[in-house]
Amino acid sequence: MATSPLLQFISQLEVIGELSRISVSVDPLLEIAAITDRVCKQPQGGNALLFEQPADSCFPVVTNLFGSQDRVCRALGVNNLSVLTDRLSALLDQIPEIDITALDRQIEALPEFNRFAPYPATEPDSAMIRMTPPDLTRFPFLQSWSGDGAADGHARYITLPQVFTADPDGGTHNCGVYRVQLRGEREAAIQWKTGSGAAQHAELYRRAGKAMPVAIVLGGDPATLFSAMFPLPGDLDEMTFAGFLRGAPLATIPCLTVSLRVPHGGEVVIEGYVEPGESVTEGPFGNHTGFYSPAAPASLIRITSICHRQDAIIPATVVGPPPMEDCWMAQAWERLLLALLQKMVPAVIDISFPFEWVFHQSAIISLENPQPGMVRNIAPLLWALPWFASARILLFVSADSEAIKLSRAAWRYINVADATNDIILDSGTDRVAIDATGCRLPRSMVTLSAESAALIARRWQEYTVA
């Protein structure tokens, strides 16, 4: 039996000492999440965790797989995340004039991109076993926080699902990561994000009065999960983008009971249908803000089939106050977004998502040679982009040799920003842009001379400084 991509990745982490095995019995209800949360708060994100004996299940659980910058790099096959910026920049250079409203179509028209489109596997995945009858409750899906699902008593969630949908004509496909709440052996609630590809597909099926096929994949090549999580432009195909990230197209297999294809090599494949207009109450759900998302209507999926590997490992994540695993994963998107921004706003030199801000679309943005009034012109351009449409704060600084960090940006802000002229409020919203570039100040910033820097570097060992 071939080793799955997920197990291959786990094995790599164990070899380099970045995997901890928990061999004692642990409870998927709250206990696994509490352990994971504590490890995520360790310096540099802590180890990945393999829980070998979840209570009441024969399937192991792995958490914090991508909870460090090094593991994100390994998952995407790069030595440094800046490689992602370079690769996407090179791709975008092939577009003569970028149109943000048609960027998905512009990218898909490029031969260098569409050569990574998924292709049908020559054989079915022989490692997959069909569960008869399908039963979601046999898997150790987590309850992360005590109030999760309290509205109707369904506390367990699938937290790393790759959810596949397509429009009724099969013309556009979507793969997104949406939270999935277990509601029994053969029912689950899916909370589509408003405006997402899956939500748009669900609306088309509702209008047509037809049940929508849905497939949920756990595991597989890490590039598919990252691609599903990224807010890609328009209807850009996530699986082709996953092929672009991994440098090779993905093989796909047909589902058994729904008219969808999913990547070969997953740990679990769950299939079902969402009936038009049928909804249930999902939530509350503890999230990255440190508060619960309130209970709300969600689509109900009725399960028609479950297949899994004999040795399936269930990947899960825990979201909560940072630092958490998803903060590290967002750094990959940060580097890709930089490539997009630099094509639209050449003055942008760098961008940083502080862990404390990242899920509010807020960022620190470094500008080259900022001039008075530049931030007032750039901020509305960024607010008009989908990636900053709800950004609570955009903090602009001038470019220098140091990487952008929240502490240094805050130091810049408190020393150079003027409350009257440098804080820009977007009328009618709660969005704020702050000009902390200091470009209007007549003062010069202190810097170490090149000669002194070179001298210190040359003699550092002589100083015997600890």
What confidence tens digit (pLDDT) does each residue in 203-220 have?
999 999 999 999 999 999
Is residue 98 located within the same domain as residue 138?
A: yes
Helices 69-76, 325-344: crossing angle, 10 deg rounding:
70
- Is 86 a member of any domain? yes
Is residue 237 located within the same domain as residue 370?
A: no
- Is 278 a member of any domain? yes
Is residue 265 located within the same domain as residue 142?
A: yes
Average pLDDT over residues 318-339: 96
Please state, in angstroms and as integers, the Cα–Cα distance from residue 330 to each residue in 108, 133, 394, following that order: 23, 37, 17
Is residue 310 located within the same domain as residue 208?
A: yes
The model's pTM is 0.93
Q: What local confidence, expressed as pLDDT, does residue 290 receive?
A: 87
| Number of domains present in the structure of the chain | 2
Cβ atoms < 10 Å from Cβ of 400: 14
Is residue 354 located within the same domain as residue 411?
A: yes
Determine which helix (DSSP H) or strand (DSSP E) holds 23, and give its type and residue range: strand 19-26
pLDDT score of 401 more than 60: no
Is residue 300 located within the same domain as residue 350?
A: no
pLDDT score of 390 more than 60: yes
- Is 455 a member of any domain? no
Displacement of CA 117 from its chain's centroid (Å): 21
Is residue 241 located within the same domain as residue 187?
A: yes
- Any idea which residue has 């090179």 for tokens? 90
In angstroms, how far apart are the furthest CA atoms of the chain?
A: 78
Q: What local confidence, expressed as pLDDT, does residue 8 receive?
A: 97
Is residue 423 located within the same domain as residue 311?
A: no
How many angstroms separate the CA atoms of 221 and 242, rounded?
Answer: 9
Is residue 288 located within the same domain as residue 195?
A: yes
Q: What local confidence, expressed as pLDDT, does residue 406 receive?
A: 87
For residue 436, give the nearest of 368, 355, 366 by alpha carbon.
366
Q: Which CATH number belongs to the domain containing residue 423 in this structure?
A: 3.40.1670.10
**Cα 304–Cα 309–Cα 313 angle in degrees, nearest 5:** 105
pLDDT score of 446 more than 90: no
Q: What local confidence, expressed as pLDDT, does residue 466 receive?
A: 64
pLDDT score of 407 more than 80: yes
- Is 462 a member of any domain? no
- Is 45 a member of any domain? no
Q: Do 189 and 183 form a contact (C-beta atoms < 8 A)?
A: yes
- Residues of the domain holding 396: 345-435
- Is 23 a member of any domain? no
Write the CB contacts of 193 (distance below 8 Å, at least 6 apart in sequence). 176, 178, 199
DSSP E strands: which ranges in 91-161?
119-120, 128-130, 157-158
Q: Which CATH number belongs to the domain containing residue 128 in this structure?
A: 2.30.110.10
Q: What local confidence, expressed as pLDDT, does residue 441 receive?
A: 75
94: which 2 tokens?
């092939």
**pLDDT tens, residue by residue, 73-107:** 999 999 999 999 999 999 999 999 999 999 999 99
- Is 407 a member of any domain? yes
- Is 244 a member of any domain? yes
Is residue 288 located within the same domain as residue 425?
A: no
Is residue 116 located within the same domain as residue 233?
A: yes
Is residue 253 located within the same domain as residue 368?
A: no
Average pLDDT, rounded, for the chain: 94
pLDDT score of 404 more than 80: no
Q: Do 331 and 174 form a contact (C-beta atoms < 8 A)?
A: no
